[in-house]
């Protein structure tokens, strides 16, 4: 009985510490979001120190209570956090550092380290909470949708903080910006460079990162990392979200997603930094922030930029090395995590066979590159090549004027790949010819690849639809490619996605024409296709839309990010499997 009471008391203590860490996170938003006097700042910083001290103490208690925790991988993380905390104590009490007026050491003059420690303390305590994804309460599609809605509303609230913008903004504009960031779209009603402070831009950056990966990815993996396991119910729910074939692969898939994302973004940020001209920035910190912001925005295919005219800005439009880096980054982000992992496995296998002396010891594997990867890569490569050639020919005497031979090629490649959900622009979109704009609309509708940070109907959907047309033309009853047969469920899903996308875009165009009679059909259609496919390209009409039209675009961006098919699955209740089949009847089509 006494042990049970002790256990309950300990669990209550852990729960209280978690809520205190959550309060600490709220204090951070209050700290950054409002202007304070030195006295208020003094009390805030002391509160941070108390919260972090409590968090570190709680972690030590956990290890003392359960010595087996030292065997987990999370022990190294906790050791590093403890070391950083001891370093903070040294700075505060031994070195006597004045945190408010020491301008010689920027990153210590304002207690940045203690604020990071508050964030880590919250992550640590949140990961220890029991989060159960009950399929009986919410199916994976509903869980996915609710998580995005929650982040969008939270982001809207943060963007309304006084320090997030230079001037006060409306809730609708904050909601539009938050939705565009979380849905990695890039359409803006406010100038990211001029209307948002660096704090506001940082909020947008985090919204893009969370929206690109999904809050469930972060929450689930950190919980698994610190606990060393999870419930069977959670694995079932996450297997549907991550499309893992085996329950045992769920968290390894999440790990690959996180490592690939942060790895590519890290190297991309370094390369972007090396491509920049320091004369275009006021400080080295601005260059670092620019590099990180655009690396995250590019990989997540968000299209947000801290430049008013995106990469078309003067001083950047001729920076071809920067454009090449961005192309590589958003193309990798648009391929999809399973494809990138499969490509890495393929190269590892090829290198192993190449450098292995005894070929007999190497197991021959003919399908290292999966059918999904082959179809996606071939489709992506074909679309990119065709759109590059068409853009180069159509805009040679128009948008490409002012670039040299090499520059024309790079700008054409950039402009041919960015419509498939990246959203950056290196040319003035409004100056493009009608034929080019129609090409861009088609590319936006196609979008990126499945399970990527991009939107659109996806390249695999287009591939299946094209293969189905060829099969019908040849009189085949099945779709066969690479000596494999495409499953009927994949074909049905592909045509459902195509139909639903056209219905949503068509309805949006009709409704906006009612509220915006002064805009041309091309401008409205371009905006709606861009919103649904989460691209972010515009003909410059987004900020001039009425409140009703802005709300319609918000809904279209959200539906495009979660996909209309997921929304339909979330609304309709699944029927139980039937053991009977009705007689088949062929319907007259044409």
Q: pLDDT, tens digit, for every residue of 529-563?
A: 999 998 888 888 888 899 999 999 999 999 888 88
Q: At what angle do helices 320-335 and 337-355 cross, to 10 degrees?
A: 100
Q: DSSP assignment, residue 62?
A: H
Q: Does residue 488 register a pLDDT over 80? A: yes
Of the pLDDT bands very low, low, confident and very high (cuts 50, 70, 90), residue 32 is confident
Q: Which two tokens stand for residue 518?
A: 């002064």
Q: Tell me the percentage of the chain whose pLDDT exceeds 70.
A: 78
pLDDT digits (tens, 9 = 90+) for 455-481: 888 888 999 999 888 888 888 888 888
Compare 77 and 41 and report the one with higher pLDDT: 41
Q: Is the pLDDT of residue 399 over 90?
A: no
Residue 409 pLDDT greater than 90, yes or no: yes
Residue 481: strand, helix, or coil: strand
Cross-strand pairs, 480: 485
> pLDDT at position 124, please?
75
User: Residue 196 forms beta bridges with which residues?
Assistant: 165
Confidence label for 176 from pLDDT (cuts 50, 70 and 90): very high
Give 258-295 pLDDT, tens digit per residue: 788 888 899 999 999 999 888 888 888 889 999 999 99
Q: How far is CA 337 from CA 117, 303, 454, 521, in A?
A: 30, 19, 11, 36
Whether 454 shows a pLDDT value over 90: the answer reads no
pLDDT tens-digit map of 113-125: 677 778 777 777 7
Percent of all residues in the chain with a pLDDT value above 90, rounded to a whole number: 24
Residue among 93, 297, 318, 127 at smallest CA distance from 221: 127
Question: How does pLDDT run across 490-517, given as a tens digit for each residue?
Answer: 888 888 889 999 999 999 999 999 999 9
Comparing C-alpha atoms, which of 341, 137, 150 is closest to residue 234?
Answer: 137
Q: Any long-range contacts for 399-405 (C-beta under 8 Å, 24+ apart)?
A: 399/427, 399/428, 399/431, 399/432, 399/436, 400/427, 403/318
Place of tokens 């399973």: 338
Q: What is the CA radius of gyration of the chain?
A: 26
With beta carbons less than 8 A apart as the criterion, state whether 194 and 187 touch. Answer: no
Rounded Cα distance, 113 and 327, in Å:
34
Residues 427-449 have pLDDT tens digits of: 888 888 999 999 999 999 998 88
Report the C-alpha gap between 453 and 335 in whole angstroms: 8
The listed range with the strongest mean pLDDT (22-31, 407-416, 444-453) is 407-416
């Amino acid at each position: 009985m006494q042990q049970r009471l002790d256990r309950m008391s300990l669990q209550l203590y852990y729960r209280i510490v978690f809520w205190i860490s959550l309060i600490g996170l709220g204090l951070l938003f209050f700290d950054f979001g409002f202007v304070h006097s030195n006295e208020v700042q003094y009390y805030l910083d002391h509160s941070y120190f108390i919260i972090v001290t409590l968090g570190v103490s709680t972690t030590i208690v956990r290890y003392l209570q359960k010595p087996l925790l030292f065997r987990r991988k999370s022990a190294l993380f906790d050791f590093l956090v403890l070391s950083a905390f001891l370093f903070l104590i040294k700075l505060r009490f031994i070195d006597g550092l004045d945190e408010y007026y020491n301008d010689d050491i920027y990153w210590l003059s304002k207690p940045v380290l203690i604020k990071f420690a508050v964030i880590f303390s919250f992550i640590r305590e949140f990961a220890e909470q029991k989060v159960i994804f009950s399929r009986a309460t919410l199916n994976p599609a509903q869980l996915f949708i609710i998580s995005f809605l929650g982040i969008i509303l939270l982001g809207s609230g943060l963007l309304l903080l006084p320090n997030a913008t230079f001037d006060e903004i409306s809730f609708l504009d904050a909601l539009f910006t938050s939705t565009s960031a979380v849905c990695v779209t890039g359409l803006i009603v406010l100038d990211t460079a001029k209307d948002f402070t660096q704090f506001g831009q940082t909020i947008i950056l985090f919204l893009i990162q969370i929206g690109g990966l999904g809050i469930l990815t972060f929450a689930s993996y950190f919980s698994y990392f610190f606990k060393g396991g999870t419930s069977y119910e959670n694995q079932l729910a996450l297997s549907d979200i991550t499309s893992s074939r085996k329950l045992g692969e769920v968290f390894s898939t999440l790990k690959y997603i996180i490592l690939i994302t942060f790895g590519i973004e890290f190297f991309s940020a370094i390369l972007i930094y090396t491509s920049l001209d320091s004369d275009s920035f006021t400080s080295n910190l601005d260059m670092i922030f620019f590099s990180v912001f655009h690396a995250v925005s590019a990989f997540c295919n968000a299209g947000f930029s801290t430049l008013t005219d995106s990469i078309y800005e003067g001083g950047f439009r001729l920076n071809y090395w920067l454009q090449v880096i961005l192309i590589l980054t958003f193309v990798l982000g648009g391929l999809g995590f399973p494809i990138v992992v499969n490509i890495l496995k393929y190269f590892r296998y090829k290198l192993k066979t190449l450098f292995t002396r005894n070929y007999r010891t190497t197991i021959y594997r003919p399908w290292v590159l999966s059918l999904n990867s082959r179809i996606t890569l071939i489709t992506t490569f074909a679309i990119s090549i065709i759109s590059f050639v068409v853009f180069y020919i159509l805009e040679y005497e128009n948008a490409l004027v002012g670039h040299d031979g090499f520059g024309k090629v790079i700008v054409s490649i950039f402009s041919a790949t960015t419509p498939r959900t990246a959203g950056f622009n290196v040319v003035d979109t409004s100056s493009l010819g009608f034929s080019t704009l129609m090409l861009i609309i088609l590319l936006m509708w196609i979008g990126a690849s499945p399970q990527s940070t991009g939107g659109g109907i996806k390249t695999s959907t287009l591939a299946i639809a094209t293969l189905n047309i060829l099969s019908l033309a040849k009189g085949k009853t099945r779709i066969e490619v690479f000596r494999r047969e495409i499953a009927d469920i994949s074909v049905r899903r592909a045509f459902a996605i195509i139909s639903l996308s056209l219905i949503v875009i068509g309805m949006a165009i009709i409704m906006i024409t009612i509220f915006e009679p002064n805009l041309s059909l091309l401008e409205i259609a371009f905006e709606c296709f861009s919103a649904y496919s989460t691209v972010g390209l515009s003909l410059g009409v987004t900020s001039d839309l009425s409140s009703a039209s802005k709300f319609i675009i918000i809904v279209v961006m959200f539906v495009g990010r979660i996909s209309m098919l997921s929304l339909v699955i979330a609304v309709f209740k699944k029927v139980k499997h039937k053991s009977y089949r009705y007689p088949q009847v062929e319907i007259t089509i044409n």
